[in-house]
Amino acid sequence: MKIALKLLIAAVALVLLGFGSYALSPHVIPDEPEVECAPEGEGTSGLYSEELDCPISYETGQAYMDYHDTLWPLERIGILLIFGGVLVGLVAAGFGVAGLVKRGRSSS
């Protein structure tokens, strides 16, 4: 098998594994932290819960923001696999074009 075809198969496999990993990540991420109302007279996080109809305490607000700002490991792995697959695909395309150019020059 030519190297360009092997690289193309590897690229497709990497991209599929990346999407699979990224799609699987919501199923292994821990549950979202519960928010609590800030006690009267204490500082708040600056967030407001429409569900509880009150400002959120600093501690639970911080936990909530950390939860939503975190890129979970499976998401990171998925993104890296997708980018790696695209990169390998570009290398495969380069080998394919080089092979076509080489074949065209040798036939003339």
Report the pLDDT averaged over residues 35-50. Answer: 84
Predicted confidence at residue 88, as pLDDT, reads 94
Q: How does pLDDT run across 59-78, given as a tens digit for each residue?
A: 888 888 888 777 677 788 89
pLDDT band at 89 (very low <50, low <70, confident <90, very high): very high
How much is the pTM? 0.62
Give the pLDDT of residue 57.
87
Count, residues in the chain: 108
pLDDT for position 1:
60
Closest CA to 18 of 67, 64, 86: 86
Q: Where are the alpha helices (DSSP H) in 3-107?
A: 3-28, 58-69, 73-107
Q: Determine the pLDDT at residue 14.
A: 94
